[in-house]
Amino acid sequence: MLTSGLLLCSGLKAEQATIAIASNFTQPAEQLRLAFEQHSPHTIRFSFGSSGKFYAQIRHGAPFDAFFSADQQKPVELEKLSLTVAGSRFSYALGKLYLWSAQPGIDLSPKNNDWQFATKIAIANPKLAPYGKAAVESLKQLNRLNNLKDKLVYAENIAQTYQFVLSQNAQIGFVAASQVVQQNKGSSWPVPDDYHPPIKQDAVLLKRGQQNQAAIAFLAFCKSKAAAKIIQSFGYQTLDNH
In a domain, 215, yes or no: yes
Q: What percent of the chain is modeled with pLDDT above 90?
A: 83
Number of separate domains in the chain: 2
Do 110 and 178 belong to one domain? yes
In a domain, 238, yes or no: no
Mean pLDDT for all residues in the chain = 92
Domain holding 173: CATH number? 3.40.190.10
Do 33 and 108 belong to one domain? no
Do 8 and 80 belong to one domain? yes
In a domain, 147, yes or no: yes
State the residue range of the domain holding 163: 97-190
Do 111 and 68 belong to one domain? no
Do 89 and 114 belong to one domain? no
Do 120 and 185 belong to one domain? yes
Do 160 and 107 belong to one domain? yes
Do 186 and 103 belong to one domain? yes
Do 151 and 177 belong to one domain? yes
d(CA 111, CA 95): 23
The predicted pLDDT at position 240 comes to 75
**pLDDT digits 0-9 by tens, 114-132:** 788 999 999 999 988 889 9
**pLDDT digits 0-9 by tens, 203-221:** 999 999 999 999 999 999 9
In a domain, 241, yes or no: no
Do 159 and 147 belong to one domain? yes
pTM of the entire structure?
0.85
